[in-house]
Structure 1
Amino acid sequence: MENQVAQAVSDPSFLQTLAVFMDEGGIFMWIILATWTFGIAIALERIKSLFTYDIDGSSLMNMIKKHVLNNDVQKAIQSCSNTNALLPMVLKSGLKRANQEKDQIQDAVDSTILEVAPKIEKRMSYLGLVANVSTLIGLLGTIYGLIESFAAVANADPSSKAKLLALGISKAMNTTAFGLISAISIMVIHNILSNKSDKIISEVEEYSLKLVDLLGTKKRQMPPVPAVPETPKAA
């Protein structure tokens, strides 16, 4: 199947058809192509970043819980190191304050969430913009092509007007088709990436809350530190 697709793309007739398709649409086709390329570049960057930021939150939380219950917070902190994922970064900030009050742990976690959240949503709005702009440029190209077509047939021979008008409309519709191809593909990618970012954010919020509760409960269960008796001063 892949060989057939590659052969079709490399086929001279396919390339010639694609060249004619682009040429007939006029300058608007190249504007849509540039917009589409911009959107694909952003999508590739976001795909790479979001899959780097993601991690198996359940496995990580189980590992941290095991270390915390064994009173080994340092190992829990180490399990959150050496990774670019965002969830370990948030949990690590809470673990560093494991000996402090629950409110202080919560503040540390919340501030880190505010720090990492923009990384997840970064440039995502551009994908929606690219999809909308591609559609509108396609429609604009179609309207422009229709205006040119009607202007061309205005002074043409009556017997050839229908043929010229049909040819002009066919060319004008190329921009709409290409604009929709660009918009649909970017919208699909945007939806996939939005679901991925929502999953990362929900896991960060869920497991950070569980960590705060875990550390707060663990601290209440720990026996109080016995007071050291003061040595009587020599008279």
Structure 2
Amino acid sequence: MVLLSILQELPVEETVEVVEEMSILDLLFKGGYMILPILLLSLVGTYIFVERILNIKAAGKTPDNLMDEVKQLVVNGKISEAQTLCAREATPIAKMLEKGISRIGNPLRSIEASIENVGKIEVYKLEKNLSLLATISGAAPMIGFLGTVTGMIQAFMSIAQEEGAVSPKLLSSGIYEAMITTAAGLFVGIISYLAYNYLITKVGKLIHKMEYTSINFIDLLQEPQK
């Protein structure tokens, strides 16, 4: 109740003027040293998102007619030409097809296994650092809460050292500075969480396309045997 009464006596206009005069960067650094790891996590998260989205976009640039061209060449017995065609494309689907073509003549189960192994390697590459992005989405808010707790402790320690009446300005500044880390941590955590789910969705669509192509290729190998 005492804290509430002090906050009610705080001049609102004076507080608004002080906040408006600060830039966003100045306001962030008012949060104390705990804001530094949050900023570092935001930079790491941004790098991971940009790097992954460019990588996934490049991995999905398989020509739509690649499977039709491979089918035509394989049916005509031009195995080496089909393999060369796939080697020109540095995409997961093309690599899977190239591996499958190189195994033509072996038992069908062996071909399936080799394609599946290449697919697993490519999926691992696509999902690289996504777990780190998920970690950032959870760690940033927790660091923000920790910064708020330590900031509140310091604020009340400063109040305890004051003699006489406590200045409303001292109390309010200590509290809002402590809350900055929570706001920053939540912001970084929410953005990282959305980015992680977006990338997972993109990877999932590409994996589905890889599986569909693999099934079509196996069906293609069975056709000449009929």
TM surpasses 0.5? yes
The CA deviation at 1:177 is: 1.1
- Structure 1 or 2, whichever has the larger Rg, is 1
- Work out whether 1:179 is the aligned partner of 2:157: no
Whether the aligned pair in 1 keeps the contact of 2:100 and 2:115 (CA below 8 Å) is: yes
Whether the aligned pair in 1 keeps the contact of 2:62 and 2:89 (CA below 8 Å) is: no
- Work out whether 1:22 is the aligned partner of 2:22: no
Give the whole-Å Cα distance in 1 for the aligned partners of 2:102 and 2:209: 20
Q: Do the aligned partners of residues 15 and 57 (structure 1) sit closer, same or farther apart at CA in structure 2, a change above 3 Å counting?
A: farther
**Equivalent in the alignment of 2:79:** 73
- Work out whether 1:112 is the aligned partner of 2:111: no
TM-score w.r.t. the length of structure 2 is: 0.82
**Equivalent in the alignment of 1:217:** 223
1:143-158 equivalences in 2 (<5 Å): 143-156=149-162
The CA deviation at 1:28 is: 0.9
Q: Which 10-residue stretch deviates more, 126-135 or 155-164?
A: 155-164
- Work out whether 1:83 is the aligned partner of 2:86: no
Q: Which 5+ residue runs of structure 1 have no aligned equivalent?
A: 1-13, 222-235
Secondary structure of residue in 1 paired with 2:142? helix
**Aligned AA (2:157):** A
**Equivalent in the alignment of 2:214:** 208
- Work out whether 1:100 is the aligned partner of 2:111: no
Q: Do the aligned partners of residues 111 and 69 (structure 1) sit closer, same or farther apart at CA in structure 2, a change above 3 Å counting?
A: same
Give the whole-Å Cα distance in 1 for the aligned partners of 2:22 and 2:153: 27
The CA deviation at 1:161 is: 4.3
Whether the aligned pair in 2 keeps the contact of 1:101 and 1:216 (CA below 8 Å) is: no
Q: Which 5+ residue runs of structure 2 have no aligned equivalent?
A: 1-19
Q: Do the aligned partners of residues 132 and 15 (structure 1) sit closer, same or farther apart at CA in structure 2, a change above 3 Å counting?
A: farther
Residues 194-230 of structure 1: CA distance to partner in whole angstroms, max 9, x if unpaired? Answer: 1121122221122112101111222x13xxxxxxxxx
Residues 26-48 of structure 1: CA distance to partner in whole angstroms, max 9, x if unpaired? Answer: 11111211121122222222223
1:48-63 equivalences in 2 (<5 Å): 48-56=54-62, 58-63=64-69
Whether the aligned pair in 1 keeps the contact of 2:127 and 2:203 (CA below 8 Å) is: yes
**Equivalent in the alignment of 1:168:** 174
Give the whole-Å Cα distance in 1 for the aligned partners of 2:21 and 2:73: 60
Secondary structure of residue in 2 paired with 1:25? coil
Whether the aligned pair in 1 keeps the contact of 2:152 and 2:174 (CA below 8 Å) is: yes
**Equivalent in the alignment of 1:133:** 139
Whether the aligned pair in 2 keeps the contact of 1:25 and 1:171 (CA below 8 Å) is: yes
Give the whole-Å Cα distance in 2 for the aligned partners of 1:158 and 1:214: 88
